Amino acid sequence: MVKPVLRGNMKYGVRLLIGVSLMAAAGSCAGRNLPPEPDSYVAADQIGAERAAELAASPAATWLDDMNSAEMSTLAREALAGSPDLQIVEARYRAARWRARGSFGSNLLPSLSIGGDGGRTEAPISGSDERTRTDFLTSNIVASWEIDLWGRLASRALASDLSADAAKEDLDDARLSIAGQSSQAWVDLIEGQQLLALAQEDLTTRERALDLTQRRYDAGIATSLALRTARSQVASARALHAQAQDQLLIVSRRLQGIMGRYPDGTLRAEGELPHLAPLAAAGAPEDLLERRPDVLAAEDRMRAAGFRIHEARAAMLPRLTLTATAGNEGTAVNQIDDSANMITNIIAGITMPIFNGGALLSESRASVADRRAAAADYVRVSIAAWREVEGTISADQSLEVRETQFGIAADEAREAQALAEREYSRGVATLFELIDAYTRRIDAERGLITARAARVSNRIGYHVALGGGARTGGIDEDREVTP
């Protein structure tokens, strides 16, 4: 036979275990949908296969291969994986998405919470030094649900979800921007290397002219003016060579910074600028509005602002709330977890805002102004997108002319320099004619390098302006557009 005290202890232990289990189960249900721990910084060479596949298929990267430069595509994809700026935008998007999910659950679904309190009171006993102690425990379960009569809570949840969609478009726009920046920085790096090589060639040429002038001066043929002029030209060429070296380090560090590498300036390009095919039609203007991430983000924010207008207006209407509570109190756990003796209460309440200093009316009017601002911003972003596309198309035509004409000028200048050198060595031409031939040739070569780099950079800007994923001949019509 089990003693009554033992039987009571077993009953207490079972109830305590049930109570702790219910608390743990409720905690696990509440925490089951919590977001995972934030991703730590991942270097470019350690990027996961899933994220790498997402980046490779995104509009930010699909156009890279159409530029016919394997090196540029490789560096741009590394920048997409390792750019710290891009990881900041990505983290902000994930935060916005989790907040949107939380807003949906907290606004449209009932809330349920359980809790318990414990305390002790002490009171003196009259006529004695002793004190009486009373322990008390309480438990409570509260369920609450606001009935969304007018769509206020739904509008809030939809506005939050659209804001998260806008953050996703911001992420796509940032990826597209990073791909374009890294590609243009690679072009700048090649241009810097070519300009440095040209500066070195110019320095060598002018040193050769100085050596020839020095020999002529020693022979009494050249004047002191010619010798000093030749020396001045060499000094100027050395200064320009140093400037070209510094500029190359600057563009190299900029590309390394975009890619997330240590900016020591040692990165060098091994490839050459790609040969560009002529541009074809870029597509209908309305197609661009469905492709540009910044335009889509502006549209999402405009739609979200519309839902916030409805939320603000519905906030001035009555609210219906259902509340259910259950609880118990006692001096021990076996008293407060007794479901049969719990005190329950169910309340249905309607509240109507009457006076709050005009806050609700002011918020309603402010939301209308926010909607107008969002609509104007959508128009502004759309016009800017069209302007960028039209600008890159027209610039490609002028840059093609510049590249062609500078190529002709460079060929003629090389022949003129070779002729001037021969005539100067025979004493037919003067030093100033030789210097003029040098200067014209360097200017033509520099113009050709700059025009080629500018045209490739403009073509990169063309792809970025089209929202990525565009072929050389215009918009890729087969690409699926995500609404």
Q: For 37-67, what is each residue's pLDDT tens digit?
A: 444 444 434 444 556 666 656 666 677 877 8
Domain membership of residue 279 (yes or no) is: yes
Where residue 181 falls among pLDDT bands split at 50, 70, 90?
A: very high
Could you give the C-alpha distances from 43 to 60, 62, 80, 260, in angstroms and in order?
19, 22, 11, 8
What is the structure's pLDDT at 431? 83
| Model confidence at 247: pLDDT above 90 | yes
d(CA 269, CA 333): 74
For residues 119 and 321, the model is more confident at 321
Spell out the long-range contacts of 33-37 with Cβ–Cβ below 8 A and sequence spacing 24 or more: 33/101, 33/105, 35/94, 35/98
| Model confidence at 469: pLDDT above 60 | no
Q: What is the mean pLDDT of the chain?
A: 81
Type of residue numbered 381: V
Domain membership of residue 110 (yes or no) is: no
Domain membership of residue 102 (yes or no) is: no
Type of residue numbered 306: G
What is the structure's pLDDT at 120? 76
pTM of the model: 0.76
Query: Which two three-digit tokens encode residue 420?
Result: 């001037």
| Model confidence at 146: pLDDT above 60 | yes
Please, what's the b/e burial string for 217-253 (b: 16 or more CB within 10 A of its CB; e: otherwise)? beeeebeeebbebbeebbeebeebbeebeebbbebbb
What is the structure's pLDDT at 280? 63
Domain membership of residue 27 (yes or no) is: no
What is the structure's pLDDT at 399? 93
Where residue 319 falls among pLDDT bands split at 50, 70, 90?
A: confident
Could you give the C-alpha distances from 193 to 78, 189, 360, 452, in angstroms and in order?
21, 6, 63, 13
For residues 154 and 473, the model is more confident at 154
Q: DSSP H helical segments within 43-83, as ranges? A: 49-57, 59-62, 70-82
Domain membership of residue 104 (yes or no) is: no
In angstroms, how far is CA 153 from the centroid of its own chain?
Answer: 30
Domain membership of residue 364 (yes or no) is: yes
| Antiparallel, parallel or unpaired: β 131-147 and 343-351 | unpaired
> For residue range 326-362, what is the model confidence (pLDDT) as tens digits?
777 766 666 566 566 666 777 777 888 887 778 888 9
Where residue 410 falls among pLDDT bands split at 50, 70, 90?
A: very high
Residues 6+ away with beta carbon under 8 Å from 165: 300
Domain membership of residue 233 (yes or no) is: yes
Most confident of 51-55, 60-64, 246-250, 430-434: 246-250
Check which CATH number belongs to the domain holding 213 and give it: 1.20.1600.10
The mean-pLDDT minimum among 127-136, 162-171, 457-466 falls in: 127-136
d(CA 343, CA 333): 16
How many CB atoms lie under 10 A from the CB of residue 439? Answer: 15
> For residue range 20-42, what is the model confidence (pLDDT) as tens digits?
444 444 444 444 444 444 444 44
What is the structure's pLDDT at 282? 62
Most confident of 139-153, 342-356, 409-423: 409-423
| Model confidence at 320: pLDDT above 50 | yes
Does residue 265 contact residue 252 with C-beta atoms inside 8 Å? yes
Instruction: For residue 478, report the phi and psi dihedrals to the nearest 5 degrees.
Output: -80, -10
What is the structure's pLDDT at 384? 93
d(CA 397, CA 393): 7
Instruction: For residue 236, report the phi and psi dihedrals to the nearest 5 degrees.
Output: -65, -40
Residues 6+ away with beta carbon under 8 Å from 280: 472, 473, 474
Domain membership of residue 406 (yes or no) is: yes
d(CA 14, CA 404): 91
Does residue 257 contact residue 50 with C-beta atoms inside 8 Å? no
Task: Give the percent of the chain with pLDDT over 70.
Answer: 80
The radius of gyration of the chain's CA atoms, rounded to the nearest angstrom, is 38
Domain housing 190: 50-82+151-316+359-483
Number of domains in the chain: 1
| Model confidence at 363: pLDDT above 50 | yes
The CA dihedral of 409, 411, 413, 414, to the nearest 10 degrees, is: 160
| Model confidence at 253: pLDDT above 60 | yes
Strand partners, 120: 135
d(CA 311, CA 154): 8
How many CB atoms lie under 10 A from the CB of residue 352? Answer: 8
